[in-house]
Amino acid sequence: MNKVKFLSAGLLMYLLMSVNGVQAQSIFDKWVALKDFHEVMSQTFHPMEDGNLEPIKTRSLEMSEKATLVNKDVPAEFNTPEITDAAKRLDEGCKNLNEIISKNATDDEIKKSLTSMHDVFHEIAGLCSDTDKHDAEKSKTDKTETEISDPSK
């Protein structure tokens, strides 16, 4: 009996994680510039967490350029005031991060700035996820209303 419960719990966890993975993947599929930015962010932020600032020190210009593309290339479905504001903050913040690194900022200043940009990235991803959920709910509502109002179905 315990094996069945354990397997059932494992299957449930797998399914939940798969659903979240599909949603995140679809956001990146829809917004390639955000996916490209995320790649650089993950390859610089996670080493920073382990005390290694070399990746961000050598890739801050690349990150800034990717953030500019995120800001310039917001897909129509994610073009909300909240998302465009966050994309602008990401662009400006990454430019600032690159600038302070080029001026030999302290490790603490770099960590603070990179962490802030990481938070803004997650804000954007969360807002996109909310937009996707809203669109899915609206689609269900629209379909239900059509089915109700059309007596031929």
Better-scored residue on pLDDT, 69 or 20: 69
Taking phi first (over 0 means left), then psi (-120 to 50 degrees means alpha), and beta for anything else, what does residue 146 get? Answer: alpha
Mean pLDDT of 108-130: 96
Print the domain residue range for 56. 31-133
Does 3 fall in a domain? no
Number of domains in the chain: 1
What is the percent of the chain where pLDDT is above 90?
66
Contact 40, 69 (CB under 8 A): no
CA 31/CA 27 separation, integer angstroms: 6
Taking phi first (over 0 means left), then psi (-120 to 50 degrees means alpha), and beta for anything else, what does residue 106 get? Answer: beta
Residue 60 sits in a domain whose CATH number is: 1.20.120
Q: What is the pTM of this model?
A: 0.72
34 burial class (0-12, 13-18, 19+ CB within 10 angstroms)?
buried
